[in-house]
Chains A and B, each alone.
Chain A
């Protein structure tokens, strides 16, 4: 059984250990003097000390405890953490050879993502406190449904060029004088070229046309949002079909690469669609 003085010493030591080094000696001396007075004649000094608070809580009250992730960022942090880890796990499930391989290569390894987020949020929070004026809220057009036309035109040009390259890769390589093996590798499998290739191409063209329509309008409308989500879902469904159907190209290596890329595109697109649906402006009922 410890004496009151020993209890105070133990308590003060536990508080002081959690304080900044420069404060420890001074706070400990004051706390010890105060506790002696508070506990003088107490029947149950341990209960009194417990009522004083856990040493960690008391130490936190003495200073401004530092937080790595600002409380205001808590929800966003948790959401990004969960989404990121789930996406890595799903991609791993597609690429891994068996459960053990998945667990070793992705299951545990995915935890680098929360660590990365902690560092990113910590640095952002620090910068926000250091330069508050630079982090003032600024209204954005996109929040009201307006689109960035130059950016979307550039994106349209990029995706159109990408689609052309994707469709005619073998033809382009041949014109550029590439080795026959390279041309052969990127030649579509006849079954894929018959179906589902044209379906995927048709959906791709529809997505590009829709992208262009929204760009011309200059802003999102309820109907264009609906079409966007519907086209996205159809494209994802078609791509998932491609994943489980036969080969896309004649070359096995090209098939492996393109199927992995398709899996990534589907995972990212589904997350994007989920975000779009959740952030969709709700009609205001008067």
Chain B
């Protein structure tokens, strides 16, 4: 459906920003998904985990395996990721404000 497709496109960038926002410190995938879901942004596993790997491949995240207990891969913002996150956050604020003004009084 057209609506589903548009919503998916709208969410795609927001999800990336939300993920970056939570990776100032090391987190592993399952834990990150829980944090996002608990904060009202449910995200499918099949979307989140590949996204983490892609962001790592683009140099935005760094990762490490931890084997104390159950082996898990932990992710954190790289220095480039921190810069990118700051830029995206500012951009999001501007967009959010503009859309708020444009849609004001719609209801």
Binds A, one of B1-9, B46-54, B85-93: B46-54
Q: Which of B45, B51, B73 contacts A52 (CB 8 A)?
A: B45
B70 within 8 A of partner (CB): yes
* Min CB–CB distance B32 → chain A (angstroms): 10
B71 within 8 A of partner (CB): yes
A62 within 8 A of partner (CB): yes
- The CA of A57 and the CA of B51, in the complex, are separated in Å by 13
* Min CB–CB distance B92 → chain A (angstroms): 23
Interface string of B38-65 (1 = CB under 8 A from A): 0000001111011101100000000001
With a cutoff of 8 Å between Cβ atoms, the chain A residues found around residue B24 in the complex are none
- The CA of A63 and the CA of B53, in the complex, are separated in Å by 8
Could you tell me if A61 and B47 are in contact, using CB atoms closer than 8 angstroms? yes
Q: Which of B45, B54, B65 contacts A34 (CB 8 A)?
A: B45
* Min CB–CB distance B78 → chain A (angstroms): 18
- The CA of A38 and the CA of B31, in the complex, are separated in Å by 10
Q: Which of A23, A31, A36, A57 contacts B49 (CB 8 A)?
A: A31
Could you tell me if B46 and A58 are in contact, using CB atoms closer than 8 angstroms? yes
**What is the interface of chain B mostly: helix, strand, loop, or mixed?**
helix
A72 within 8 A of partner (CB): no
With a cutoff of 8 Å between Cβ atoms, the chain A residues found around residue B45 in the complex are 34-35, 38, 52
- The CA of A30 and the CA of B61, in the complex, are separated in Å by 16
Q: Which of A30, A36, A57 contacts B73 (CB 8 A)?
A: A30
B11 within 8 A of partner (CB): no
- The CA of A23 and the CA of B49, in the complex, are separated in Å by 14
A29 within 8 A of partner (CB): yes
Interface magnitude class on chain A: 10 to 19
- With A31-B49, A33-B70, A33-B73 known as contacts, the answer to whether A52 contacts B44 (CB < 8 A) is yes
* Min CB–CB distance A265 → chain B (angstroms): 46
With a cutoff of 8 Å between Cβ atoms, the chain A residues found around residue B65 in the complex are 29
- Of all chain B residues, the one with the shortest Cβ separation from A34 is B29
Could you tell me if B49 and A34 are in contact, using CB atoms closer than 8 angstroms? yes
Which of B29, B47, B49, B71 has the most chain A CB within a 10 Å cutoff?
B49
Which of B29, B46, B51, B65 has the most chain A CB within a 10 Å cutoff?
B46
- With A27-B53, A33-B71, A33-B73 known as contacts, the answer to whether A61 contacts B30 (CB < 8 A) is no
* Min CB–CB distance B56 → chain A (angstroms): 10
- Of all chain A residues, the one with the shortest Cβ separation from B51 is A61
Interface string of A52-94 (1 = CB under 8 A from B): 1100011001110000000000000000000000000000000
- The CA of A162 and the CA of B71, in the complex, are separated in Å by 79
- The CA of A30 and the CA of B6, in the complex, are separated in Å by 31
A133 within 8 A of partner (CB): no
* Min CB–CB distance A5 → chain B (angstroms): 14
With a cutoff of 8 Å between Cβ atoms, the chain B residues found around residue A53 in the complex are 44, 46
Could you tell me if B73 and A62 are in contact, using CB atoms closer than 8 angstroms? no
Could you tell me if B30 and A37 are in contact, using CB atoms closer than 8 angstroms? yes
A284 within 8 A of partner (CB): no
- The CA of A38 and the CA of B30, in the complex, are separated in Å by 7
- Of all chain B residues, the one with the shortest Cβ separation from A23 is B53
- List 13 interface pairs A-B (beta carbons < 8 Å), by A numbering: A23-B53, A30-B53, A33-B73, A34-B45, A38-B30, A51-B46, A52-B45, A52-B46, A53-B44, A58-B46, A61-B47, A61-B51, A63-B54
Question: Apart from A30-B53, A51-B44, what are 15 other A-B pairs with CB-CB below 8 Å?
Answer: A27-B53, A29-B65, A34-B29, A34-B30, A34-B45, A34-B49, A35-B45, A37-B30, A38-B30, A53-B44, A53-B46, A58-B46, A58-B50, A61-B46, A62-B54
* Top 9 A-B pairs, shortest CB-CB distance: A61-B50, A53-B46, A37-B30, A52-B46, A62-B50, A30-B73, A34-B29, A58-B46, A52-B45
